[in-house]
Amino acid sequence: MKRLVFPSAENNFRPWLLHLRGLLTLSFLLLIVFFSYSSVLNFFSRPTVLGWQEKNISPSKIIDLINAARAERDLPPLGVNNKLEYAAFLKANDMFAKGYWAHQSPSGQLPWYFIEAAGYDYQLAGENLAKNFSSSSSLVAAWLRSPAHRANLLNSQYSQVGVSVVDGKMNGIPTELTVAFFAKPLSPKTGQLIQDVLAKGTLPTFQERNLKIDPAVSYRSFKELFGLGILLVLFLAALADYYYTERKLPRRYHSYSHLHLIFLAVLIILVIFLSHQVGVIK
């Protein structure tokens, strides 16, 4: 271990991790973990204890934030439609069942298929997707930053919206999917809340989700810890190397450890940031 990180006569006064062989081994190790992460996940995510994790993401909060963004631009608010909510729920479940995350399913079904399957007649419709966001505000902010998603959120022609947030496992990985359908109904009647249909039980009711069960050790935390661990060990090696360089100890050749230190510090900051901002939109 000492030879890996600290310069000594045994490693030619250069940490073994900064030798080409050490870096190649580390790259190879990363590639192996990268391509076999599902197996690693299954090993680490075998939950022995289930913990409750508070989540700040909910369909109603997302819709409130969308309407707030529309209000800032003098656009009328979007009304919640249960059929669109159901369509979003169907789409999210289809993605979990078939293991995809895209606007088009592997069997070629477009977003409109789910809107029609929910019995919603539309003139105009749009779909926004998001994955693994930790809060409604960060999710809506990400949509607003993307021109294509922003166009759906701020389209003056849309009058209704349906959002569904569903937890599940996608290809063995715990995932949270958010689907939002925006639409302009074909007739005003379609836009009304269909309480009578809900009463018959043909559509599921949607409840606020504020709590969620997560495995004690999640896939996400494994990736963060693994990445952070490697970066910290490299940082330590570069720091030790820099210290030895400053003391002008003998060596065959040397690169600039202070550059490694700056770069690795930037990466460590980045990994910490990405561990808090994990969502992706489509």
Point out which residues bind another protein (CB under 8 A). Answer: 18, 20, 23-24, 26-27, 30-31, 33-34, 37, 130, 133, 138-139, 141-143, 145-146, 223-224, 226-227, 230-231, 234, 242-243, 246, 253, 255-256, 258-264, 266-267, 269-271, 273-275, 277, 279-281
In angstroms, the CA 118 to CA 191 distance is 13
CA atoms within a 13 Å half-sphere pointing along the CA-CB vector of 111: 20
Sequence-distant (≥ 6) Cβ neighbours of residue 263 within 8 angstroms: none
Closest to 65 measured CA to CA, from 150, 123, 192: 150
Strands 173-185 and 160-170: antiparallel
Token pair 């819709």 is at which residue? 63
**Eight-class DSSP state of 103:** S
CB of 243 to another protein, least distance (A): 7
Closest to another protein by CB, 18 or 115: 18
CB of 33 to another protein, least distance (A): 8
Closest to another protein by CB, 83 or 260: 260
CB of 48 to another protein, least distance (A): 25
Closest to another protein by CB, 66 or 118: 66
Torsion angle defined by CA atoms of residues 142, 144, 149 and 150, in that order, rounded to the nearest 10 degrees: 180
Closest to another protein by CB, 186 or 280: 280
CB of 41 to another protein, least distance (A): 12
CB of 73 to another protein, least distance (A): 21
Closest to another protein by CB, 33 or 236: 33
SS3 content of the chain, % helix, strand, coil (to 5): 50, 20, 30
